[in-house]
């Protein structure tokens, strides 16, 4: 499993801890940590995180988004 570096970059660029990012998304920190670490997430969780970071939720389901250089919306 590859970490979602784009998600890590979004969080750190805003100076957030994983705990704070999870709070903003309205999810458990452990769920957020799994998302960053590349574990599968539900559509519901993806949408919550995407809403918190103002990015597209479909990025969670694109295996090669980092390689393509895609940036969140």
Q: What is the pLDDT of residues 14-61, one digit of tens each?
A: 999 999 999 999 999 999 999 999 999 999 999 999 999 999 999 998
Distance CA 51, CA 49 (A): 5
Distance CA 16, CA 2 (A): 21
> Taking the complete model, does pTM exceed 0.85, yes or no?
no
Q: What is the torsion angle, in degrees rounded to the nearest 10, for the CA atoms of residue 55, residue 60, residue 61 and residue 62?
A: 70
Task: Give pLDDT, residue 69.
Answer: 47
Domain ranges of the chain: 5-68
The conformational region for residue 54 under phi > 0 = left, psi -120 to 50 = alpha, else beta, is: left
| From the candidate CATH numbers 3.30.70.100, 1.10.1270.20, 1.10.260.40, 1.10.3720.10, the one assigned to the domain spanning 5-68 | 1.10.260.40
Task: Give pLDDT, residue 55.
Answer: 93
């Amino acid at each position: 499993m590859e970490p979602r570096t784009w998600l890590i970059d979004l969080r750190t660029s805003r100076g957030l801890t994983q705990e704070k990012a999870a709070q903003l998304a309205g999810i458990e920190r452990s769920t957020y940590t799994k998302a960053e670490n590349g574990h599968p997430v539900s559509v519901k969780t993806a949408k919550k995180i995407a809403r918190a970071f103002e990015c597209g939720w479909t990025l969670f389901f694109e295996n090669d988004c980092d390689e393509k250089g895609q940036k969140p919306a």
